[in-house]
Amino acid sequence: MNKNYMVSLIAVITLFLIAYVGTQQGAGLQMVFGIIVPYLAIILFIVGFARRVMGWARSAVPFRITTTCGQQPSLPWFKQAKIDNPSCTLGVVARMFLEIVCFRSLFRNTRMKLKGGPHLTYQLELFLWIGALAFHYAFFTVVLRHLRFFTEPVPFFVTILENVDGFMRMEVLYDAVQQGLPGVYMSGLVLLAAALYLFLRRVMIPQVRYISLAADFFPLFLIMGIALSGIFMRYLSKVDIVAIKELTMGLVTFRPTIPEGISGLFFAHLFLVSVLLAYFPFSKLMHLGGIFLSPTRNMTGNTRQVRHVNPWNYPVKVHTYEEYEDDFREKMVEAGLPVVKMPEEQA
């Protein structure tokens, strides 16, 4: 038991229940959870995101602090690691692209171990990298796929994505449990499984548990809640998709409506998504924008070829050694100190 994740879990369950109960018949807060909250959330997301990034843009980057993960450019017979120690913009672009798309720095994750003796060994530890890749790509696919609710007509790439994502078929037809929607979207299930893995990893590994805060668990639970409610709606409890699309299309065309017959589960799902969007700019989730500005990755490692002057350096009045010697030459010669120019030459 750990208060960090218990608090987060309780928070997410409470949020879910607030929206679920608030939109039941009688409570009648559909207007709030279906129109007002989503609009506020998207405004908060965009404005908050832009402010955060512009704040980063304003902050000082005096010197290059690139991490060099390979041989720097040197004498011609040393092979330079062009991507891991880039000395030109093309190399930086390649490095950033691979970092953003393949998470290369997670791939380098190692684990220290004492292997039956005094020798410390390091071994590759790839599960975090695999989990993170599965999680992020599944989430990206899920987000893109949801464009079918926000566009009319649905663009071709969304349809293609749906067909690829949903090419598996599954039926569970027992009397007790019936899941009779054969087209299964893999991304939703992978998203849930990966989020669950990333959560268990934080709880099971003592060192990771020690550094995990409520701010790490809350988004994970939120995303698990979103995935679970989405999967539940699609495969088990069933909702009126056409009415839901009427609502979402109303939102994006600025003609908001609340059609009849939308279940509370959908409002709870939408509310969790709104909370995620609103929470995003104030949280660690800003690594979405932050990864592009990682100062250890997005600069060329050319500190030995180019002189980088701190941009706000003011001109410092200096007293060079030559001037110093001019001032004290006679005294230095008297004291027997070596001088560069002898006084006779000066005369």
Partner 1 sequence: MKDKNKILAGLVIFIAAITFPFWFNLGKAAPAPELVLTAKAQAAKTCVMSKEFMTTNHMQLLDVWRHNVVRGSERMFTNPDGKSFDMSLSNTCLDCHSNKADFCDRCHNYASVSPYCWDCHIDNPKGE
Q: Does the protein bind partner 1 through residue 165 (CB under 8 A)?
A: no
In the region spanning residues 134 to 153, those forming contacts with partner 1, defined by CB under 8 A, are 147-148, 150-153
In the region spanning residues 176 to 215, those forming contacts with partner 1, defined by CB under 8 A, are 178-182
| Identity of the residue, 114 or 242, whose beta carbon is nearer to partner 1 in the bound complex | 242
Nearest distance from C-beta of residue 24 to partner 1, angstroms? 16
Q: Does the protein bind partner 1 through residue 294 (CB under 8 A)?
A: no
Radius of gyration in angstroms for the set of CA atoms belonging to the chain, rounded to a whole number:
30
Cis peptide before 73 (omega within 30 of 0): no
Q: Which residues contact 345 (CB under 8 A, 6 or more apart)?
A: none
Nearest distance from C-beta of residue 270 to partner 1, angstroms? 14
Residues in the chain: 347
| Identity of the residue, 240 or 325, whose beta carbon is nearer to partner 1 in the bound complex | 240
**Distance from C-alpha of 112 to C-alpha of 50, rounded to nearest angstrom:** 40
Of 100-108, 112-120, 154-162, 302-310, which segment contacts partner 1 by CB under 8 A?
Answer: 154-162
Helix-strand-coil split of the chain, %, nearest 5: 60, 5, 35
**Contact pick of 26, 76, 117, 311 for partner 1 (by CB under 8 A):** 311
Q: Does the protein bind partner 1 through residue 293 (CB under 8 A)?
A: yes
Nearest distance from C-beta of residue 104 to partner 1, angstroms? 20
> Residues touching partner 1: how many (CB under 8 A)?
48
Q: Which two tokens stand for residue 38?
A: 């989503």
| Identity of the residue, 246 or 325, whose beta carbon is nearer to partner 1 in the bound complex | 246
Nearest distance from C-beta of residue 158 to partner 1, angstroms? 7
Look up residue 184 and give its amino acid.
Answer: V
Under a CB-based contact definition with an 8 Å cutoff, are residues 34 and 19 in contact?
Answer: no
Provide the 8-state DSSP code for 291: G
Strands, E assignment, 128-277: 168-169, 172-173, 178-179, 183-184
**Distance from C-alpha of 315 to C-alpha of 322, rounded to nearest angstrom:** 19
70 to 109: interface string for partner 1, x by CB under 8 A: ----------------------------------------
3-state secondary structure of 95: helix
Q: Which residues contact 230 (CB under 8 A, 6 or more apart)?
A: 142, 188, 269
**Contact pick of 6, 13, 36, 50 for partner 1 (by CB under 8 A):** 50
**Contact pick of 35, 69, 241, 291 for partner 1 (by CB under 8 A):** 241
Q: Which two tokens stand for residue 341?
A: 């120019």
Longest dimension (CA), the chain: 113
Q: Which residue has the tokens 């005294």?
A: 331
**Contact pick of 240, 286, 332, 333 for partner 1 (by CB under 8 A):** 240
Q: Which two tokens stand for residue 16?
A: 């879910």
**Contact pick of 2, 89, 163, 310 for partner 1 (by CB under 8 A):** 163
**What residues line the site for partner 1 (CB under 8 A)?**
45-46, 49-50, 53-54, 56-58, 60-61, 147-148, 150-155, 158-159, 162-163, 171, 173, 178-182, 238-243, 245-246, 249, 252-253, 255, 259, 261, 289, 292-293, 311
